[in-house]
Amino acid sequence: MEPIESKRITKNLLFIKDNITQLEKIMDKLIEDDCLGMDERADILSAKRTDKQCHKLLDILLKRGGNSYSSFIEALEVSGNHHVATRIQHKDLQKDDTSFLHVKEDTFTVNGKIEFEEAEVIQLYEEKEMYLERVKELEVSCTLLQNENYLKEHKIDKLNQDVWLLKQNAQQKYDEIDNVDETCVEHLRKLDEVEAQCKTLEEENAHLQIVQRRLQETISDKEVTMKNLNQEREFYKKQMNILQADLRQLQNDNAEKDAKIQTLNEQIRQLKIDLQNTRQAMDKMATDSRVAMEQLKTDHSNRFNQLDNKLDCVLKMLKTSKMVDGNVLKSADVNKNTRKQSIGSHKTENRPCTNASRNKP
């Protein structure tokens, strides 16, 4: 394990212990990747507390090295600990977004729509982080290609300089050949005296011609090499343009994702406001209903009182006129008292509910 990878784990030790889940599933994935043994798994599970088990597992991975870091990150992704893996990978690369990672999902009752949009926001955030990593990789690739292109151009310049030197040498040899020819013409008159010297000069001339041919072949090879290098330079330029276009596309996609996240957050906020307004409207309707019921009860009581008054008047008139039997009057009085008692009990039963009963859902 690289030092930077060990540091990523140790700097997030408390966060890992507090937020990790599915520890057995993580260990099974590490066993598949040959980063953990069966006996070590049993030893880890022997600890009673989860944080102790997690501490033992991390201690083994830090000492093990190799590809244990990448296997551990993959195991976290497989076991559903995406937030833990994201925190470990991006702790040193960007500011800690603790408010985002520790936010608990609120439970809403409006058709489950808000919960679904919050999960989509989390997914878009993870996609944004992935695109940022891809952009950084492309920037590194562009830098490498630029460096390689610079080396190729430097090599081409060096080859051009070599060709120029070879041409200078060839010209020098041509001058030497001309000088030899002039010497030969000058001494033709003394052919008998310098016959041996002429043979030597002819041999040198032949040798110089061979050298000339070799120089021409070398120049041809250098020109071919220079042509190939120019072709490679054009190829790498095209690759660089393609990578730059991909980089711009990824940046545009990233901007679209950010805009979509902002829109979803605004929709969530609007839904919360609508829910609060709905609750206030329902409370107002309930209050209006109670007031209307009290008013209706009051109206009925007044009507019953008016009827009782009219009935009293009728009974008095009947008593005065003595046209009705006394038993009938007594029966009317009894019915009147019974009705009053019934109205009183009805009022008691329909008395407005207490604050405790009104507050019940």
pLDDT single digits (tens) 30-86: 888 888 888 888 888 888 888 888 888 888 888 887 788 888 888 888 888 888 888
On average, the pLDDT of the chain sits at 77
Q: Per-residue pLDDT tens for 176-222?
A: 887 877 777 776 777 778 778 777 878 888 888 899 888 889 888 88
Q: What is the pLDDT of residue 334?
A: 60
Q: What is the pLDDT of residue 182?
A: 77
Burial of residue 86 (CB within 10 Å: 0-12, 13-18, 19+) is buried
CB under 8 Å to 43, separation ≥6 — which residues? 56
Burial code of 3-30, b = ≥16 C-beta within 10 A, e = fewer? eebbebbeebeebbbeebeebeebbebb
Instruction: Read off the pTM.
Output: 0.29
The token duo for 47 is 């600890």
Q: What is the pLDDT of residue 327?
A: 59
